[in-house]
Structure 1
Amino acid sequence: MNVKVVDTQQEKEQAYHVRMIVFVEEQKVPPEEELDEHDKTAIHFIGYENNEPIAASRLRFVEGYGKLERICVLKNHRGKSHGRQIILAMEKLISSKGYSKAKLNAQTHAENFYQRLGYKTISGEFLDAGIPHVTMVKDL
């Protein structure tokens, strides 16, 4: 998979499309909760396989952390390390901006995935868009 920082409107629309498929269609997140005010200022990532958008995420810098958000891979492309690749690209950008810590709110079903990438759970379970999550951090 080729992961890149979004730098055109077309790439941003492709990233939003992947997010809408995964979060709104598949996980039933209300569309108004999926696309929010942070999308205007976040750094967006898109992952392509054979020139087709298959993964997306966004990154913000909040309270001294690079905050990884909206990480998703289309269903028929999961289990192929694409999620890991997009996270590594995000972590590389976080480090390049002078930050040494990453943070994310993980859906609880993905907590083990993030633990394998070095993230540690620092919160109890909470609901976000009706889905159980935990907050996790990593020193880069």
Structure 2
Amino acid sequence: MQREIRVGRSESIYEDALTVRKTVFVEEQGVDPEIEVDEHDETAIHLAAYDDGEPVGAGRFRTLDDRTGKVERIAVLADYRDGGLGRAIMGRIEEIAREEGVDRLVLHSQTRAAPFYARVGYEQVGEEFEEAGIPHVEMRTEL
């Protein structure tokens, strides 16, 4: 088993990340496919995690302003959860954020995933809200 995370704006990385996102968000969680792909996909930096060349995880990063980056679309296929892959994707996003010159990261976590983000250093800010029909909370960390 050989795992790697590829990062960039290439079509191949995006397509592989999108395959994982569709499996997790659309098929598993019932998110409307029309809102899973949005205008930020064109400009974001995408991450795709692979196991023996097969896409098994995904993430997306974009800058919001001079200091702040946003973590989005973190997804890991069910068979690969709890194996450290999500943590590895988050670590790589923090590296990208530093390279891009931001020192604060924000994300909208599904409420059920908030404990994971807390374990990797994020704090909840504000109250629960709904996004794509799923309860979420905003979380932040300083780099």
Structure 1 residue 86 and structure 2 residue 89: aligned? yes
The more displaced of 13-22 and 1-10 is 1-10
Give the match for residue 17 of structure 2: 15
| Conservation of the 8 A alpha-carbon contact between 2:123 and 2:141 | yes
How far apart are residue 11 of structure 1 and its match? 2.2
Give the match for residue 40 of structure 1: 42
Give the match for residue 69 of structure 1: 72
How far apart are residue 97 of structure 1 and its match? 1.5
Counterpart-to-counterpart distance in 1, 2:88 and 2:18: 19
Unaligned segments of structure 1, at least 5 residues: none
Count residues in correspondence. 140
Q: Can you list the C-alpha shifts for 1:23-68, whole angstroms capped at 9, x where unaligned?
A: 0000000001100111111110000111110001111101331100
Letter in 1 for 2:62: R
Counterpart-to-counterpart distance in 1, 2:10 and 2:116: 30
Unaligned segments of structure 2, at least 5 residues: none
Pick aligned residue for 1:108 from 107, 111, 114: 111
| Conservation of the 8 A alpha-carbon contact between 2:57 and 2:86 | yes
Q: Can you list the C-alpha shifts for 1:97-124, whole angstroms capped at 9, x where unaligned?
A: 1111111000000111111111010120
Give the match for residue 27 of structure 2: 25
Give the match for residue 140 of structure 2: 137
| Conservation of the 8 A alpha-carbon contact between 2:64 and 2:70 | yes
| Deviating 4+ runs (over 4 angstroms) | none
Give the CA RMSD over aligned residues: 1.0
How far apart are residue 7 of structure 1 and its match? 4.4
Counterpart-to-counterpart distance in 1, 2:79 and 2:123: 28
The more displaced of 122-131 and 3-12 is 3-12
